[in-house]
A and B are shown apart, each in its own frame.
Chain A
Amino acid sequence: MNSQRQSPLYRSRLLQPGADRSPDTHPLTWRLRDDGQVVGLKEYESKEGYRAVSQVLNGHDPGAVIAAMKEANVRGRGGAGFSAGLKWSLTLQGDDIPRGYIVCNADEMEPGTFKDRLLMEQQPHLLIEGMILAAFANNARYGYIFLRGEYVESARVLTAALAEAREAGWLGPDIAGSSFDFDIALHTGAGRYICGEETALLNSLEGHRANPRAKPPFPGQSGAWGKPTVVNNVETLCNVPAVMLRGAEWYQGLSGDRTDDGGTKLYGASGLVNRPGLWELPIGTTGRELLELAGGLREGRKLKAWLPGGASTGFLLPEHLDLPLDFDTVGKEGSRLGTGLITVVTEDQSMVALMRNLEEFFARESCGWCTPCRDGLPWTVKLLLALERGEGEAGDVELLDKLAADCGPGLTFCAHAPGAAMPLQTALRHFRREFEQGVRYPRGKAHADPIPAGGV
């Protein structure tokens, strides 16, 4: 076992014992071992592994796969919640259309998110199986796993698993005797948040700057190297084998009557909680349940706010803890489900400092393509820094409002800047006083030194 995983700081750990997990209720994690060791090919095969591939590929009906996925309504687990089945049904196929690509978006870099890592580090074959099924459904010739560069352990595990799968005939020509051919390459990124944006990911994969592409055309029309391409998140793809084996109805039923969304979700918690980690739970689990599973806040702190699914989601308040965490409900409260890994903010933490930290991240990770993101976010950071230091000017908070509003959806080239604007807007709405406290100077008064040497 990797020493990193034994560290108490290692949070990409499932906090549900094996006894609590079964094939019928935990499609993503039931095979995981309590010792955290990798589920190898043998073990995977012995636990229904690649059974879906054998069945589906020899059914020779890609349309049925897409139909099942649509019916199961597997919504994209990367955070956007777009139906994977619908995405697949929109991917171009035909005799005069070249076979394209399946790309697994494994560039997990959303702050506070570490769920894909668990799946890749401990159960790589589930992802591979999901990709084979997706390739079959979308008539893809080749697959790429675009992996976050810092996920060294995932890279090691995936590399070994790909070799195992290829050796066993699950990848390559004529998979499982179905005459379907497909293979997968692992591509490790260079550590850019924007590569998680699917079209920036494709540009990066092609060897270009990781700037997003304008949509339309969507990747399903003209993706990697101009060919039809499906980009799905790790967790999304990991749901496919179970949907194929057990059916859409079963999948829909997993969440009971908590929500309209079906299936389970890898939820998690981080921040000042007692037991940060991951749980596979029915989608629609509430924030309060998650906090309880995480053992509550450390040292009796009080909850001030929480992010439902990563840094690019809006802040929710303690009063929102009983909402089911699904894609639509959270959206109605001015936030998004995002990745479903909650981050808690306690009463003793400064929202201004927190926002400055987050915006620094978003400003740093801007690809530099469109103006609002490239030049607006750094300005936001400088204003927040001034407020944090108590050197703000009258009008700074209103300027932050305006900057956040100007980074709204549709105004910027991709969803990066809107993702940076959402927490800022919600923080300004809920905790405005904290920001206003940083204002010290009247508006527009010249500094003694207009450009403070070495200053912001």
Chain B
Amino acid sequence: MATIHVDGQSYEVNGADNLLQACLSLGLDIPYFCWHPAMGSVGACRQCAVRQYKDSEDDRGMLVMSCMTPAADGTRIDIEDEEARAFRASVVEWLMINHPHDCPVCEEGGHCHLQDMTVMTGHDRRRYRFRKRTRRNQYLGPFIAHEMNRCITCYRCVRFYNDYAGGTDLGAFGSKDNVYFGRHQEGTLESRFAGNLTEVCPTGVFTDQSHSDHYTRKWDLQFAPGICHQCAVGCNISPGERYGEIRRIENRYHGEVNGFFLCDLGRFGYGYVNRQDRPRVPEFRSGKECEQGGEQKREPAQEPEQLGVDTALARITETLRHARRVIGIGSPRASLESNHQLRELVGEANFSTGINENEQTCLDLMDEQGRSCGLSAPTLRDVEGHDAVLLLGEDPMESAARLGLSIRQAITSPPAEYAARLGIPRWHADAMKTLAQDHRQPLFIAYPAETKLDTLARSRLALAPEDIARLGFAVAHAIDPTAPDVPDLDATLRSRASEIARALLAAERPLVVSGGALNSPAIIRAVGNIARALARRAKRGGLLFVRREVNSTGLALLGGQPLEWALDQLVDGNADAAVILENDLYQRLPEAPVDAALARVEALVVLDHQRTPTLNRATFSLPAASFAEGDGTLVNLEGRAQRFFQVFEPGYLRPEARIHESWRWLHGLSAKLNGEIPGDITLDQVTLACSRACADLALITAAAPDAGFRIEGLRLAREPHRYSGRTSMRADQSVSEPRVPQDPDTALAFSMEGYSGFRHPHQQVPFAWAPGWNSPQAWNKFTDEVGGHLRGGDPGIRILNPRPGHYHYEGDIPAAYQPSGTDYRAMVLPRLFGGEETSALVDPIRRRMETPVLLLSEADATSLGAELGGLVTVTGEQACVTLPARVQADWPRGLVGLPAGSVPMGIADGPVTLTAGPGSTPTPGEEVRP
């Protein structure tokens, strides 16, 4: 700690900070542009000038940039110094010289840092009377709109895009007062973190194109604390709604998980909420599967009949009551509450997780290894502090991109002690960058395909899953000789293993990251051995497993039978009814067995918020809430239970809509089935019941404050206090304004009335706003120190922690992979854009998807006679697909890599054969989507 003196007052601050950080953390306002809490100081904009005095004797002092001056003990500064104020006014005046006066039509207006800073410095008269510079804009793809005339040349965009996120296709061009930030030519920004430019840019140069397509000012949006549902990281988001549509997703600061940044899938993948074809009312389909001549047939499709809520509940209850046995199929993309309520409805013996067997085996193994091997799972902030990383059989840039960004930070930051020796503070961004050129932390990657982290890796090994596992076992053995050795390991892998082991041992905090990308239990066991070996060597290491979906971790804890078991029960006639929760079975298993099982079901009830092929086969379908219309609890990959909150009430603007949380529907069914009157239930009741039903989930009630939470007697306002048009936005339907929707489930109000301040610490912040701070920079008002933790505590609660004392090594080491020579093994590899079910329904994501290709080794491509980019057909037992071939120099022989989301299920279940050219028998999976 250090004592600094600001405008005559003394304060205790963190002496490792710079003055700007320190003052902002104290709640003192100094205007700034180029500084960013996550990106440090570069001293470019000169906006944060203050007067610094040498000591208490010095009464003249000199102007310094607070961002470039250490907050050393005894520092004396004046922020309100006359000359400093005048200079800060000059800086804004310069920045505004070429800035257009287009605030009324600018999409940044209302959450613009430049507006805030201009007001803060008091600049309101233009003295510059000459011509303004103008620029051309570029097309930068479906996510980002570009308006270079607004640029104030703070360099934040390129610093984030290139230095922080590792992008290569956004640059600063030109010099003097004509610096252009863009691509060398028009085209889609290649980085998967480009969306952060919209928040990093202090003004409207980079704005959200998806928001632009249905634009609403920040103050007119309704927000709630949300959790991104597009992968297992569980980034905190702030979705904004207007007229019953999600209009944009902005980052919601979380000190441990996502910090200031999201990936583009999370930011732009929300459009499925707004799809016109969403089920909005309960439906009944009389068409029924029947058997004719031993073949599955379906009666001619009928238009589904729409049902009222009571009718639907009554008829479904009636049907279920008559069923011999009802199977419940849950979903890792649904909340714990919904899954729990389904289990309550059908009984534990009849509940399936809805996850296929292989994936569930992997998930259970991850859970077991994670708890028994002695290393805890780091948060994303922790990840950034690790000084060696081993990535074994996982590609976080595709499967959990935000994690990939954190790993990048861990690798690119130079060793702290070396920087300290040179007297370079952590926040001195450019000096750290210069130093980091030759001082990267070691990163090792074992993964068959190329990854976006390869350029940072000390070495990358393209191996088949068995060999990745063997490498992992060998690393464990090299770290701790009592770990089992790998028989017949070839010399190259052995030397690589010992190189990796040396680097992990040399590190203070080694991190091992793996996951289910390759569906290989052996890899997960091998990773467990490495973690145990490191724990035995008393390393402050970390172990992180990437799960596929938003609630995979939570559902594995809740438990249940795998999906195959459920289908078997149906096919074997052990059950004749099924209730499927937010799950499209066709996304999990091949079409034929799903068809066969569903054909045997007498009554199929499907709850979902999307019109999936599974829902289209339902006898009864119930419209479920998406993350935007419902509340629930999820567990992310580090084992953090987090609550997401309803953003808007779907019935307010669409009175005909009957969308409810699945747990609410399922409770209604349970109650009716038990002969009770289905009174309403609240989220807190379900969460509590769920926490009691499962010991591992006992803590989830603490994931967020309950519905009784109040600040100064007030609920939390979902709407900013300037929210306009509430009385008129339904006027096209009825001129009388209905009562605002009530929220029995949470402490938030569908209103601008309520608490929306920052002074009272609170954990669940729907949107960040503070007087004078309208942009995302307002988060600094909610944190204990800038870039630190929310003063009310970072949201969520860790429910998974390692149990001490289980150090027995796994010994089931697979044999090395041998290509068969005739057959191939298909591997479906995760893909950020298009690889995830719900976001793949979204237009901008579909436009951002890369053309699907299949990956082959050069030798295999040659022996097949496949031309570069020519079509190759992959034929498996249950499915086949034709895709253009791409040769990757080090791709393992005998494997073929396929992109998730563009290939039929089941293609990777057994050996496949490859033929050059298009397939002869077209199948549904053959369709090549753009």
A-side residues, CB < 8 A to B, are 92, 98, 192, 206, 209, 213-214, 216-217, 221-222, 225-227, 363-372, 374-379, 382, 393, 399, 402, 406, 410-413, 447, 450-452, 455-456
Closest chain-A Cβ to B62's Cβ sits at a distance in Å of 6
Q: Is the CB of A372 within 8 A of B94?
A: yes
* Stretch from B44-52, B208-216, B511-519, B575-583 forming part of the interface with A: B44-52
Closest chain B CB from A296 CB (angstroms): 38
**Contact between chains at B176 and A365 (CB < 8 Å):** yes
User: Would you list 27 pairs from A and B whose C-beta atoms are within 8 A, ordered by A residue?
Assistant: A92-B422, A206-B437, A213-B430, A214-B43, A214-B428, A214-B430, A216-B431, A221-B424, A222-B424, A222-B431, A225-B437, A226-B438, A227-B438, A363-B176, A364-B176, A366-B177, A368-B175, A369-B44, A371-B45, A371-B47, A375-B94, A375-B97, A376-B94, A379-B130, A402-B90, A412-B46, A447-B129
**Any A CB within 8 A of the CB of B128:** yes
Residue numbers in A under 8 Å from B611 (CB-CB): none
Residue B60 lies at the interface, judged by CB distance under 8 Å to chain A: no
B46 touches A368 (CB 8 A): no
B residues within 8 A CB of A364? 176
Q: Taking A217-B423, A371-B95 as contacts, is the C-beta distance between A225 and B438 under 8 angstroms?
A: yes
- The distance from the CB of A450 to the nearest CB of chain B, in whole angstroms, is 8
**B 555-586 contacts with A by CB, 8 A:** none
6 closest A-B pairs by beta carbon, nearest first, are A375-B94, A226-B435, A368-B179, A366-B176, A382-B130, A368-B175
Docked CA distance A92–B421 (Å):
11
**Which of B49, B90, B175, B436 meets A366, CB within 8 Å?**
B175
Contacts of B128 in A (CB 8 A): 379
User: Does residue B434 face the partner (Cβ distance < 8 Å to A)?
Assistant: yes
B724 shortest CB reach to chain A, Å: 34
Would B44 and A222 count as touching, CB distance under 8 A?
Answer: no
Give Cα A412 to B437, complex, Å. 27
Q: Is B175 a contact partner of A367 (Cβ separation < 8 A)?
A: yes
Closest to B180 in A: A368
User: B176 is contacted by which of A226, A378, A393 (Cβ under 8 Å)?
Assistant: A378
Whether B903 is near chain A, meaning CB under 8 Å from some CB there, is no
Q: A222-B431, A451-B131 are in contact. Are A214 and B91 (CB under 8 A)?
A: no
> Which residues from chain A contact B127 at a C-beta distance below 8 Å?
399
CA distance A402 to B83 in the complex (A): 12
Shortest Cβ distance from residue A222 to the other chain B in the assembled complex, whole angstroms = 5
Structural contact, B177 and A216, CB atoms closer than 8 A: no
**Which residues of chain B are near A393, meaning CB under 8 Å?**
129
* B85-115 CB contacts (< 8 Å) to partner A: 87, 90-91, 94-95, 97-98
Q: Which residue in A406, A411, A413, A455 is a CB contact (below 8 Å) of B44?
A: A413
Q: Which residue of B lies closest to A443 (CB)?
A: B127
- How far apart are the CA atoms of A166 and B68 in the complex, in Å? 43
| Residues of B within 8 A of A (CB-CB), count | 45
Residue contact A370 to B174, C-beta cutoff 8 Å = no
CA distance A214 to B129 in the complex (A): 33
In the bound complex, CA of A209 to CA of B159 (Å)? 13
Does B434 contact A226, Cβ atoms closer than 8 Å? Answer: yes
Identify the interface centre among A367, A368, A382: most chain B CB within 10 Å of its CB: A368
Contacts of B43 in A (CB 8 A): 214, 370, 413
Contact partner of A410 among B42, B63, B129, B439, CB < 8 A? Answer: B63
Cβ of B87: which chain A residues have Cβ within 8 Å of it?
406, 411
Q: How far is the CB of A112 from chain B (nearest CB, A)?
A: 21
Q: How distant is the Cα of A364 from the Cα of B424 in the complex, in angstroms?
A: 32
CB distance from B784 to the nearest CB of A (A): 28
Is there a chain A Cβ closer than 8 Å to B64's Cβ?
Answer: yes
Contact flag A225-B44 (CB < 8 Å), given A374-B179, A375-B95, A406-B87:
no
Q: Which residues of B contact A216 (CB under 8 A)?
A: 423-424, 431
A447 to B414, CA, bound (A): 56
Please judge, given known A-B contacts A226-B439, A371-B45, whether A213 and B175 are in contact too, CB under 8 Å.
Answer: no
B436 proximity list for chain A (CB < 8 A) = 226
Give Cα A456 to B172, complex, Å.
Answer: 25
Q: Does B153 contact A (CB under 8 A)?
A: yes
Q: How far is the CB of A213 from chain B (nearest CB, A)?
A: 6
Query: Whole-angstrom distance between the alpha carbons of A371 and B202 in the complex?
Result: 15
Interface residues of B in 1-60 (CB under 8 A from A): 42-47, 49
* Closest Cβ–Cβ distance, residue B343 to chain A (whole Å): 57
Closest to B49 in A: A411
Inter-subunit contact A222/B435 (CB<8 Å): yes
Given A367-B175, A370-B45, A379-B94: A221 touches B422 (CB 8 Å cut-off): yes
Report chain B residues within 8 Å CB of A226.
Answer: 414, 434-439
Q: Distance in Å from the Cβ of A429 to the closest Cβ of chain B?
A: 20
Q: A217, B431: Cβ atoms under 8 Å? A: yes
Q: Are B46 and A411 in contact (CB under 8 A)?
A: yes
A413 in contact with B46 (CB, 8 Å): yes
Kindly state the separation between the CA atoms of A399 and B129 in the bound complex, as whole angstroms: 12
- CB neighbours (8 Å) of B98 from chain A are 375
- A385 vs chain B, min Cβ distance (A): 9
Interface residue? B178 (CB, 8 A):
yes
Question: Which residues of B sit under 8 angstroms from A206, Cβ to Cβ?
Answer: 437
Give Cα A428–Cα B435 distance, bound, in whole angstroms.
43
Contacts of B143 in A (CB 8 A): none
Q: Mark B410-438, 1 if CB is under 8 A from A, else 0.
A: 00001000000011100010110011111
| Chain B positions within 8 Å of A368 at CB level | 153, 172, 174-179
CB distance from B890 to the nearest CB of A (A): 28
User: CB distance A372 to B91 under 8 Å?
Assistant: yes
CB distance from A452 to the nearest CB of B (A): 8
B908 to chain A, nearest CB (A): 44
Nearest residue (CB) in A for B128 is A379
B177: contacting residue among A213, A214, A378, CB under 8 A:
A378
> For the complex, is B223 an interface residue (Cβ under 8 Å from A)?
no
* Max chain A C-beta neighbours (<10 A), residue from B42, B63, B130, B435: B130
Complex interface residues of chain B between 431 and 487 (CB less than 8 A to chain A): 431, 434-439
B644 in contact (CB, < 8 A): no
* A217 contact set on B, CB distance < 8 A: 422-424, 428, 431
Contact A455 to B438, CB < 8 A, known contacts A222-B431, A410-B62 = no
- Shortest distance in angstroms between A77's beta carbon and chain B's nearest beta carbon? 27
Tell me the bound Cα distance from A364 to B42 in angstroms: 22
Shortest CB–CB separation between residue B637 and chain A, in angstroms? 35
Chain B residues contacting A92 (CB-CB under 8 Å) are 422
Are A222 and B422 neighbours in the complex by a CB distance under 8 Å? yes
> Known contacts A371-B91, A371-B95, A410-B62; is A214 also within 8 Å of B42 by CB?
yes
A372 near B90 with CB under 8 A, answer: yes
Residues from chain A with Cβ under 8 Å of B434 in the complex: 213, 222, 225-226
In the complex, the chain A residue whose C-beta lies closest to that of B131 is: A451
Residue of B nearest to A447 (CB): B129
- With A222-B435, A226-B414, A370-B44 known, 8 other A-B pairs at CB within 8 A are A216-B423, A222-B422, A363-B177, A374-B179, A379-B94, A379-B130, A411-B63, A456-B131
Judged by a CB distance under 8 angstroms, whether B155 is at the interface is yes
Contact of B97 among A379, A402, A411, A413 (CB under 8 A): A379
Q: Contact string, B58-86, partner A, CB cutoff 8 A, digits 1/0?
A: 00001110001000000000000000000
CA A297 – CA B153 in complex, angstroms? 45
**Nearest CB to that of B94 among chain A residues?**
A375
Least Cβ–Cβ distance between B747 and chain A, in angstroms: 44
Q: Which residues of B contact A450 (CB under 8 A)?
A: 129
User: Nearest chain A CB to B30's CB is how many angstroms away?
Assistant: 15
CB contacts (< 8 Å) of B129 on chain A: these are 393, 447, 450
Give bound CA distance, A216 to B177, whole Å: 26
Residues of chain A within 8 A of B431, CB atoms compared? 213-214, 216-217, 222
Which chain B residue has the least Cβ–Cβ distance from A455? B131
Q: Contact at A371–B44, with CB atoms within 8 Å? A: yes
Taken together as a complex, chains A and B put the C-alpha atoms of A375 and B94 apart, in Å, by 6
Q: How many angstroms from the CA of A376 to the CA of B46 in the assembled complex?
A: 12
Q: Which of A222, A225, A367, A371 has the most C-beta atoms of chain B within 10 angstroms of its own C-beta?
A: A371
A98 to B, closest residue via Cβ: B438
A378 CA to B42 CA in the complex, in Å? Answer: 23
Please, which residue of chain A has its CB at the minimum distance from the CB of B130?
A382
